[in-house]
């Protein structure tokens, strides 16, 4: 077992990396999403959790902007899934679909399998899942979990937990890019 260490503010332990960020307002939460979205690649899985109003959809809107999605992004609460066409900044402008899931209304995690949604999680796009905790047992070990919580009416705490080498590296790259965002 490896001792916990710090990587410029990021906690690293046993193949899991974590980083906590406080966003002062919704526009900053969107900019954090944009910074992450610009780094995403096909096959990436981003799992969001937090109470109602914590900023999950706001973060996802920023993530979509970072992927150069031009459509209006809103929560697919009643349809469970919305698909948007984005672009991969890290892969020279290659088309990159964004699959936006909202599992708020999900009653049984097996519904995801029954609807064929599981195929998206191993596909050629980026998956972002709101209310991911409603299907915890379905997620692969390697992923990026983001827990959002309200500090007050405008301030949000975002805890990023990266599991696996791809996501730890993604979190390191994100951390390098986000300092300008959190300072504004």
For every residue of 118-138, DSSP letters joined together read GGGGGSSSEEEEETGGGGGGG
pLDDT higher than 90, residue 161: yes
pLDDT higher than 90, residue 145: yes
What does the pLDDT read at residue 180? 56
Give the SS3 label for residue 18: strand
Average pLDDT in the 42-65 region? 95
Distance CA 51, CA 101 (A): 16
Average pLDDT in the 76-105 region? 86
Comparing C-alpha atoms, which of 98, 97, 115 is closest to residue 106? 115
Q: Binning pLDDT at 50, 70 and 90, where does residue 45 land?
A: very high
Q: Which residue has the higher pLDDT, 155 or 106?
A: 155
What does the pLDDT read at residue 119? 83
pLDDT higher than 90, residue 47: yes
Distance CA 154, CA 150 (A): 8
What does the pLDDT read at residue 37? 96
pTM for the full model?
0.89
Using left for φ > 0, alpha for ψ between -120 and 50, and beta otherwise, residue 80 falls in: left
Average pLDDT in the 120-149 region? 92
pLDDT higher than 60, residue 85: yes
Give the SS3 label for residue 176: helix
Q: Given the structure tokens 């709101």, which residue do they identify?
A: 130
Average pLDDT in the 81-102 region? 87
Least confident of 57-61, 62-66, 118-122, 168-172: 118-122
pLDDT higher than 80, residue 165: yes
Q: Binning pLDDT at 50, 70 and 90, where does residue 2 land?
A: very low
- Mean model confidence pLDDT for the chain: 87
List Cα–Cα distances, 174 to 6, 26, 37, 110, 135, in angstroms: 16, 18, 9, 33, 26
Distance CA 136, CA 167 (A): 18
Report pLDDT digits (tens) over 98-115: 999 999 988 788 888 888
Q: Is residue 6 classed exposed, middle or buried when 0-12, 13-18 and 19+ CB atoms within 10 A define those classes?
A: exposed
Domains of the chain: 5-178 (3.40.50.300)
């Amino acid at each position: 077992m490896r001792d916990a260490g710090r990587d410029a503010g990021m906690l690293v332990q046993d193949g899991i990396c974590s980083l906590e960020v406080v966003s002062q307002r919704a526009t900053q939460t969107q900019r954090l999403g944009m910074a992450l979205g610009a780094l995403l690649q096909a096959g990436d899985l981003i799992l969001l959790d937090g109470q109602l109003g914590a900023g999950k959809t706001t973060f996802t809107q920023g993530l979509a902007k970072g992927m150069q999605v031009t459509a209006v992004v809103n929560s697919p609460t009643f349809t469970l899934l919305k698909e948007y066409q984005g672009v991969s900044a890290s892969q020279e402008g290659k088309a990159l679909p964004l699959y936006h899931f909202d599992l708020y209304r999900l009653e049984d995690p097996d519904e995801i399998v029954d609807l064929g949604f599981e195929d998206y999680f191993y596909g050629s796009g980026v998956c972002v899942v709101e209310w991911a905790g409603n299907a915890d047992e379905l997620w692969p070990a390697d992923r990026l979990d983001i827990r959002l919580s309200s500090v007050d009416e405008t301030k949000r705490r975002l805890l990023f937990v990266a599991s696996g080498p791809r996501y730890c590296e993604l979190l390191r790259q994100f951390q390098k890019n986000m300092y300008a965002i959190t300072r504004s």
